[in-house]
């Protein structure tokens, strides 16, 4: 059994941090036109950043899925099932939006701006269509939100000891998860594969879907083992 009060208090650290980040992003999108905002966020390039974001972005293409499969090695399949359910649901909705709205990628949009030169990273295969929303941003936030929910769930089990030091460590990990997801989303802007609005909506899908799946299937996904109930 879990303490719902502890669970919601714990996961609120992750949720509140994301909401603060989202408000900041929405403000930037309101304050600046899309092309100018993209150049503002993408104006400082270096070889180290180029290499980092080029490879960090690829985590959403297959490494995160491998990580989601690792619990199967310890016969703990709940997380893998939870992530797969979220990714299938959120991914299906995202693809519908992508192909229904079908907006141009930054490289296609900036062809119409002679005074703005789009910074590109060497070796990155640029895409031209289906920019909105970002699937990579969605996957980064989907994975990190699933991890955050499972961490909060296991921390809130009534048979788990809780003290201030442990609480601070859990909160630090939750904050780190937001940072890791945000870096993944920003990598798509840095690489000029997406605009900020694309990764913003992608992150919203990745954030909301796990909580929706948790609400709908919480009894099956987060059901404790028999030995934990005794």
Question: Would you kindly state where each structural domain of the chain is located, as residue ranges?
Answer: 4-229
pTM across the whole model: 0.92
The low-confidence residues of the chain, meaning pLDDT below 50, are 227-230
**Is the Cβ–Cβ distance between 151 and 174 less than 8 Å?**
yes
CA distances to 30, 32, 35, 39, 196 from 25, rounded to whole Å, are 9, 11, 15, 15, 8
Residue 161 pLDDT: 67
- The CA-CA-CA angle for residues 127, 131, 134, to 5°, reads 105
Q: What is the pLDDT of residue 227?
A: 43
Sign for the CA dihedral angle at 140, 146, 149, 153 comes to: negative
Alpha helices by DSSP H, 45-163: 47-57, 63-69, 78-101, 106-109, 135-155
Q: Judge residue 177's burial from the number of C-beta atoms within 10 Å of its C-beta, 0-12 exposed, 13-18 middle, 19 or more buried.
A: buried
Measured CA to CA, the distance from residue 3 to residue 155 in angstroms comes to: 9
Helix (H, G, I), strand (E, B) or coil at 75: coil
Under CATH, which number does the domain 4-229 receive? 1.20.144
At 230 the pLDDT is 42
CA distance linking residue 156 with residue 175, whole number of Å: 17
Q: What is the pLDDT of residue 214?
A: 92
């Amino acid at each position: 059994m879990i303490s719902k009060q502890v669970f919601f208090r714990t996961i609120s650290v992750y949720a509140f941090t994301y909401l603060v980040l989202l408000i900041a992003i929405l403000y930037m999108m309101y304050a600046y036109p899309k092309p100018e905002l993209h150049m503002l966020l993408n104006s400082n390039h270096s070889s180290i950043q180029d290499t980092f974001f080029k490879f960090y972005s690829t985590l959403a293409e297959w490494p995160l899925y491998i990580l989601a499969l690792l619990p199967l090695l310890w016969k703990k399949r709940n997380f893998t099932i939870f992530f797969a359910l979220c990714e299938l649901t959120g991914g299906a909705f995202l693809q519908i939006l992508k192909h229904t709205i079908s907006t141009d990628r930054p490289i296609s949009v900036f062809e119409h701006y002679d005074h703005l030169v789009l910074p590109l990273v060497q070796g990155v295969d640029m895409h031209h269509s289906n920019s909105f929303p970002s699937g990579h941003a969605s996957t980064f936030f989907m994975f990190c939100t699933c991890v955050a929910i499972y961490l909060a769930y296991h921390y809130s089990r009534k048979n788990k000891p809780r003290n201030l030091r442990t609480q601070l460590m859990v909160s630090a990990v939750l904050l780190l998860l937001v940072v890791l997801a945000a870096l993944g989303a920003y990598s798509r802007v840095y690489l000029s594969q997406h605009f900020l609005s694309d990764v913003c909506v992608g992150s919203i899908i990745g954030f909301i879907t796990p909580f929706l799946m948790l609400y709908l299937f919480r009894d099956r996904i987060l059901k404790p083992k028999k030995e934990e109930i005794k």
